Amino acid sequence: MKYLFVTLMWNARAEMPGPGDIFAVCCQSYSPNGMTRYGRYTHLDDMSALTQWTKDAVYHNITVLETAKPRKEILNTVAETFPAYDVLVLWSRKEYELFRQAMHDCGHRLCTAKVVLLEELLGAVVRPRKRGRVSFQQVLRTFHVQTTRETFYQPKYRAGFLLELWDRVSQLAAQSEEWTQTELCLNPRTNTVHLPGCSHLGLPGGQPCMPQVLLEGAALCRDCQKKKALYLWEMKRLHAVKFQPHAGALGTPQNYPPAPKLFYREGDPQKLYHDRACLCCKPFREGPDYLQWKPLFGRADAAALGLTACDRCSPLGIRYGQTRTQIESFCSQRGMQCVLRDGEIDVTTSIGGWRIVWKGKDKIWLYHKNTHRSHLTESEDIPGYHSQAIHKKTIMEYLEYIVQHDLYRKNSPLPETGSIPAAKPPEPTHRGHGHHRDAKGAKHFQKHKTNKVKVSSLEELQALARQKMTGEEE
């Protein structure tokens, strides 16, 4: 038996969506002979009516919707890729009606009338924790289907999660005694499953069947769905069930396309690029002028376009803003200038220049401008500067080091030309054999000095005694 799993994403609105609201189609077939996966974004009919949910689903990368192929072309490819299937599996009835109408508008008919709607099926056989609709993502977590934010909204992978959910429901049904012992009746004329005694069964009374037919495309009577007699499992107990991974399950793929983290605005005179969470551009990027904002997938792309980092959302800019008052007070008291420019901090003192650079992964490096050390090998990253062999964690720690370095250079200036004096070797911090010898010698010296004081004090005492005895004799 061949299954086709279909999920759609549409521009969510309060009223019933139409085919023109679909912006992503996700399909995956599964059969004993193999599986095929297909998923694409589609061009929306009305790009000016995007909802906040749609923007979040594409990570505010509106370009993928602007450049996407028309919906009809995508659905024609779906019809060619999946020409035949026995059972159609979707999440909700709304999704099924939308898919059927969209295919009908493109001149295609569904290959089968056997449809499995997992939302209705689970709503009938699983007792929820509370009343109300349970979301697709919440059900995936309940059945231990691993997803990430990047893969959950990707058309290429979304149908794979539906396949894995269907397989785990099948596993639960196979190992559940309540499922196998439940008595149901199938109306073969309508392919609908009823509880015994349902008024919609008709005169023949239907054929006895197992609940497994619900996973093979048989519909469930809507009146029987409302009866609590069908509740077989408790939602809160599903977390303890152990499932086997499906052979065609997606799991957590590692090759999904990365979500854009940087953005820039077309026509920006300052030519700045911003982080996704930058507060100085996020309100405008999500506002009416969102179409002017374009995504970037790395700083190399920004450099190729001649863009510079926004000072407010750069890593050093964020840390500079957190301690701005302290930094400005420190620099004004010591006659220093500290300027944040292009995501880097330039520090100017009375002696020389410095630059604090972000190296990624919470690493901040310090560079010193070449003045007397022009013959040294320059840093490849920053021409005219050489790196300092010291690493701190905060900007303030680097500023304190700069002050100490300048004070030392004022007391020990370097010649304009000539060799550089050798640096003083650092004091040993480990306790080696030399340390023990020095400590032992100091101990003997102190003991000898103490004994010498004792001897001299005894001689003085004897001299005083002799003088006293001589005076008494006289």
CA torsion 392-398-403-405 (nearest 10°) is 50
Q: What integer is the mean pLDDT of 199-224?
A: 77
Q: What integer is the mean pLDDT of 94-110?
A: 91
Helices (H), 32-183: 52-57, 63-66, 71-81, 93-105, 118-125, 136-142, 149-152, 155-174, 177-181
Q: What percent of the chain has a predicted confidence (pLDDT) above 90?
A: 7
Over residues 127-162, the pLDDT tens digits come to 665 555 678 888 888 888 878 766 788 887 888 888
In this predicted structure, the answer to whether residue 232 has a pLDDT above a threshold of 80 is no
What is the pLDDT confidence band of residue 72, given thresholds at 50, 70 and 90? Answer: very high
Per-chain mean pLDDT for the chain: 76
For 450, half-sphere exposure in the C-beta direction (CA atoms, 13 angstrom radius) is: 6
In this predicted structure, the answer to whether residue 375 has a pLDDT above a threshold of 50 is no
User: Topology of 3-176+232-240 in CATH?
Assistant: Nucleotidyltransferase; domain 5 (3.30.420)
Q: Which has the higher per-residue pLDDT, 258 or 137?
A: 137
What is the pLDDT confidence band of residue 248, given thresholds at 50, 70 and 90? Answer: very low
What is the pLDDT confidence band of residue 251, given thresholds at 50, 70 and 90? Answer: very low
Q: How far are the Cα atoms of 268, 312, 416 from residue 344, in angstroms, in the given order?
A: 21, 11, 29
Structure tokens at 194: 């009823």
Out of 55-59, 90-94, 114-118, least confident range? 55-59
Structure tokens at 319: 């840390």
Supply φ then ψ for residue 424, to 5 degrees.
Answer: -70, 130
Q: What percent of the chain has a predicted confidence (pLDDT) above 70?
A: 69
Out of 41-55, 125-139, 259-273, least confident range? 125-139
Q: What pTM was computed for the model?
A: 0.53
Q: What integer is the mean pLDDT of 382-407?
A: 84
Out of 114-128, 184-198, 216-230, least confident range? 216-230
Over residues 192-205, the pLDDT tens digits come to 888 887 877 766 66
Contact 69, 40 (CB under 8 A): yes
Domain boundaries of the chain, sorted by first residue: 3-176+232-240, 262-309, 315-411
Contact 273, 308 (CB under 8 A): yes
CA dist., res. 116 & res. 136, Å (int): 15
In this predicted structure, the answer to whether residue 347 has a pLDDT above a threshold of 70 is yes
In this predicted structure, the answer to whether residue 250 has a pLDDT above a threshold of 50 is no
Q: Which has the higher per-residue pLDDT, 116 or 297?
A: 116
* Residue 467: strand, helix, or coil: helix
Q: Which has the higher per-residue pLDDT, 472 or 384?
A: 384
In this predicted structure, the answer to whether residue 6 has a pLDDT above a threshold of 90 is yes
Out of 4-8, 23-27, 402-406, 427-431, least confident range? 427-431
